[in-house]
Amino acid sequence: MREDEFRDRLKGAIGEPPPLASPSYGPGTTARRRLYPAAMGVLAVALAVLLVLVLVGTRLALTPRGNVGPLGKDGGERPLLVAEEVRRQHLDARGRKLRFQSADRRRVARCR
């Protein structure tokens, strides 16, 4: 197919454009139309920030802070003491075990 034939065919396929409205030369309506998505963008960002604040706020409000263990008669000190006590007992038990082990070794040496 020759170039001219193709040109005619393309023009026939697309067709002539209908009479379109002449554009306005300046910001006019376009600027107003452009304002709408901009306003929607600002609104979307504001909503997103609000959502994040609400989520963080509720999270902070509902997260237990400080001591949550059972309180003794003297307030919040008791759980710490309990923890300290457990740690001490654990160390004592290890010390005792080491002592028994060395005593056993001495006993074995004496038997030999």
Partner 1 sequence: MAAEAHQDRPFVDLVAPLVPAAQRLAYGMLQNPHEAEDAVQEATFKAWRGFNRFQEGSNARAWFLTIVANECRQRRRSRWWSLLRVAEPAGEEPAAPQADESSMDLRRALGRLPAGMKLALVLRYYLDLPFEEVGHVLGVGEKAAKARVHRALRRLRVEIPELNPDA
65 touches partner 1 (CB under 8 A):
no
In this complex, which beta carbon is closest to partner 1, that of residue 25 or of residue 36?
Answer: 25
For residues 29 and 35, what is the distance between their CA atoms, to the nearest angstrom? 10
**DSSP bridge partners of 72:** 75
Q: Tell me 89's DSSP state.
A: H
Tell me the C-alpha to C-alpha distance, in Å, between residue 52 and each of 39, 57, 59, 63, 64.
20, 8, 10, 16, 20
In this complex, which beta carbon is closest to partner 1, that of residue 7 or of residue 87?
Answer: 7
For residues 17 to 36, the per-residue mask of contacts with partner 1, x marking binding by CB under 8 A and - elsewhere, is: xx-xxxxxxxx-xxx-----
In this complex, which beta carbon is closest to partner 1, that of residue 16 or of residue 74?
Answer: 16
Q: Which residues bind partner 1 (CB under 8 A)?
A: 1-3, 6-7, 9-18, 20-27, 29-31
